[in-house]
Amino acid sequence: MRDQTGKQTQVTIMNNRPQGGSADLSDKANIEIMQHRRTSTIDNTLDLDMTLDEKEFKDGPGIKINAEYNMQIFNFTSGKSIQREQQIKND
């Protein structure tokens, strides 16, 4: 996410697994990362005839994972992104 107010600041969040996310560039400046998608109802938008509720055991809690997140905040005109280096390290 890059600052659009002229401060030349970039925020990059890197993790060690495929995930979804979004950034709100308004005054709130929120970053949202979706680690697991769980629904208690059928999601017709994906043409699935079942709920999305992965569990370790049939009646157990949701799947537990150990995720690693790295955040870099830097001036993108004078600094260097470490995104590619971090990706290679994670791979």
* Domain layout of the chain by residue ranges: 9-90
Residue 76 has pLDDT above 80, yes or no: yes
- E strand or H helix that includes residue 90: helix 83-90
Q: Which residue has the tokens 């994906």?
A: 46
pTM assigned to the model: 0.60
Looking at per-residue pLDDT, the higher value among 79 and 4 belongs to 79
Burial of 86 (0-12, 13-18, 19+ CB in 10 A): middle
Q: 51-80: buried (b, 16+ CB within 10 Å) or exposed (e) per residue? A: eeeeeeeeeeeeeeeeeeeeeeeeeeeeee
Residue 4 has pLDDT above 80, yes or no: no
